Structure 1
Amino acid sequence: MTAPSTDPTLDVVAIGNAIVDVLAHADDAFITAEGMTKGSMQLMFSPAEADALYAKMGPGTEASGGSAANTVAGIAALGGKTGFIGQVAKDQLGEVFAHDIRATGVVFDTAAREGDPSTARCLILVTPDGQRTMNTFLGASQFLPAHALDRGLIESGAILYLEGYLWDPEEPRAAMRAAIDFARAAGRKVAFTLSDVFCISRHGDDFRQLLADGLVDILFANENELLALAETEDFQEALTRVSSSVPLLVVTRSEQGALAIGRGETATVAAEPIERVVDTTGAGDLFAAGFLHGQAQGLGLMASLRIGAICAAEIISHVGARPMVDLKALVAEKLGAAVA
């Protein structure tokens, strides 16, 4: 990696799906009747399919989402400086997304796309145990072209953060490869989240090659994603395999907490206690927000993990993937102002 010509002005710049979430409660019977796998994400390939499911859902709540967008919004809520690159359409949902992310303080200047398809939406069914089952119509987000990238914005971030969800369509996959080149040429770090086991089932070889080529500095995974990437059912073996191929590996394990391996050390943190899990939507996104914020502030692995755990706990205590309290104040209260 070459030395940066100028110091970064933003902590994290992310590229991901620009999505508006529609959240509604549902019981397990509905999930089964619709042929869904509880707790997973599946794609819908047409507006008609999305409309049909939406018509069957109960009362819903709309909120801007998208995995990487949630992460940079979380970092901004912690007091960090962030930017986002993602494709919306010139429609009402596109305006909602743009307004919401800018309102959090995130820099977002990607031009809206004319014509069909519409802005992406994710229909999220939350069961009584707090598990979320996501049904995503990617819409305009899957047509992010490389020429829409703001190279200056990418180079302004200390860390470029990419989501595995966006690796599926060909056009944004090419855009993310170009973004990695821009970031590394500027001496920036690249962070990547595996997003979902289904992403690994489709693009695992690509992800493994990114690691083998030394193009990823920080890798985020949950336990199931780690096992899928390592192609083993043994957790310790998976840790050994994957951690040997990336400078910093961060793994979340739901109620078992999280761990990070890198820089010659292994750090673990317990899950932050909460009264009740309401909705797990965005838990991994906000964990990544807390961890990356800690790293951007020069904190160690343990402190960064703890901030991630605090942010994740706040998110799963209510419906929706964006914070409902002052995250910066919450972290300061739990860890002390010097750490926050």
Structure 2
Amino acid sequence: MTAKRYDVLALGNAIVDVIATAEEDFLATHGLVKGSMALIDEARAEALYAAMGPGKVVSGGSAANTIAGLASFGGRGAFIGKVRDDELGRLYRHDLTALGVGFDTPAASEGPATARCFVIVTPDGERTMSTYLGACQNLTPADVDEATVAAADIVYLEGYLWDPPAAKDAFRKASELAHRAGGRVALSLSDSFCVDRYRDEFTGLIRNRTVDLVFANEHELKSLYQTGDFDAAMQALRAENVLAVVTRSENGVLAVTPDGIVAEPVFPVERVVDATGAGDLFAAGFLHGLTSGREVRDCLRLGALAAAEIISHVGARPDVNLKTFAGNNGLL
């Protein structure tokens, strides 16, 4: 089989992040649940923006963060997501393409504005997100280009985008095209609230092999199998006979493989500044290792290193070149 043009093609929400720090009482004043991600309308978005302190504006979105991290490792990435032809939409496209990421999805000429996510970071590094989804919810199967999908080794699907019916159809189309072209498909469960909404559909995607690789954190996994017992959730996951990766914050990461479970500790950091994007960047490192033909343990190590870099500063995109960072730590 000929080599693929892209290591990873991601489908996800195209969202501009506005990140600001605040004390705990800000959350209470504005009715925000610490550590959660809540969907808001445009009016609520304007009110929160007016109340926030100075913010850092940066292109985000879970799957796009993963692709940005992959590019920082030197991987070849592409992205499919929907923006509006407005100022934020143009900023978003520039930020991705400047990294060398392919992003050819046409912008919408009408309808909702480009999406934005307001991220409040409290002093303990925990992030609370309020998201206006806007244009990114209007992704359709027509936006999934067959040649682009066929050119990717792995197609990476963001669970957050499973809400709109047309986006679900786009995911299914991308998976079918990927498998037809000899590629693999990965799914990020994204958020335990997302899993609560679509538990049966997500397990269906795993069991009918629409996806070949699953990324989850501990909370998402327990939600998937409706248990408070982590070991019971892991046992259920192993029974699915699918490659899966489960992150456990400071308790490290586990990979479930046909040969058993592989465990790796976290990569040490002096201080957690902002947990935004930790899972996204972990996926970037793991996918880079996987598409480079590395052993699962090395993929876990690259993921842990990328996650450690991202939580050491504000924002969900790397502040350093991850290829160099990994090389300096003996991982590449």
- State whether structure 2 residue 313 is matched by structure 1 residue 318: yes
Question: Hey, what does 2:49 align to over in structure 1?
Answer: 54
User: 1 CA distance for matches of 2:214 and 2:194?
Assistant: 14
Question: Hey, what does 1:279 align to over in structure 2?
Answer: 274
The TM-score with structure 2 as length reference comes to: 0.98
Identity of aligned residues (%): 51
Structure 1 residue 34, shift from structure 2 partner: 1.8
- State whether structure 2 residue 134 is matched by structure 1 residue 127: no
Identify the match of residue 109 of structure 2 among 114, 124, 131.
Answer: 114
Structure 1 residue 47, shift from structure 2 partner: 1.4
User: 2 CA distance for matches of 1:215 and 1:15?
Assistant: 15
Asked whether the equivalents of residues 206 and 242 of structure 2 are also in contact (C-alpha less than 8 Å), the reply is no
Asked whether the equivalents of residues 40 and 133 of structure 1 are also in contact (C-alpha less than 8 Å), the reply is yes
Ranges in structure 1 where 5+ consecutive residues have no aligned partner: none
Question: Hey, what does 1:28 align to over in structure 2?
Answer: 24
Asked whether the equivalents of residues 84 and 110 of structure 2 are also in contact (C-alpha less than 8 Å), the reply is yes
Asked whether the equivalents of residues 195 and 223 of structure 2 are also in contact (C-alpha less than 8 Å), the reply is yes
Counterpart residue identity of residue 126, structure 1: V
User: 1 CA distance for matches of 2:248 and 2:6?
Assistant: 29
- State whether structure 2 residue 193 is matched by structure 1 residue 198: yes
User: 2 CA distance for matches of 1:116 and 1:51?
Assistant: 17
Structure 1 residue 16, shift from structure 2 partner: 0.2
Structure 1 residue 178, shift from structure 2 partner: 1.0
Which aligned pairs between 1:1-340 and structure 2 lie closer than 5 A? Answer: 6-44=2-40, 46-336=41-331, 340=332
The TM-score with structure 1 as length reference comes to: 0.96
Structure 1 residue 170, shift from structure 2 partner: 1.5
Asked whether the equivalents of residues 142 and 166 of structure 1 are also in contact (C-alpha less than 8 Å), the reply is yes
User: Aligned to 1:240, what secondary structure does the other structure show?
Assistant: helix
Structure 1 residue 164, shift from structure 2 partner: 0.3
Structure 1 residue 196, shift from structure 2 partner: 0.2
User: Aligned to 1:335, what secondary structure does the other structure show?
Assistant: coil
User: Aligned to 2:8, what secondary structure does the other structure show?
Assistant: strand
User: Aligned to 1:206, what secondary structure does the other structure show?
Assistant: helix
Structure 1 residue 243, shift from structure 2 partner: 2.5
User: 1 CA distance for matches of 2:282 and 2:327?
Assistant: 16
Ranges in structure 2 where 5+ consecutive residues have no aligned partner: none
Count residues with an aligned counterpart. 332
Deviations 1:99-118 (A, max 9, x none): 00001111000000012200
Asked whether the equivalents of residues 216 and 246 of structure 1 are also in contact (C-alpha less than 8 Å), the reply is no
4+ residue segments displaced more than 4 Å = none
Asked whether the equivalents of residues 105 and 143 of structure 2 are also in contact (C-alpha less than 8 Å), the reply is yes
Deviations 1:64-93 (A, max 9, x none): 000000001101110110110000001000
User: 2 CA distance for matches of 1:223 and 1:328?
Assistant: 28
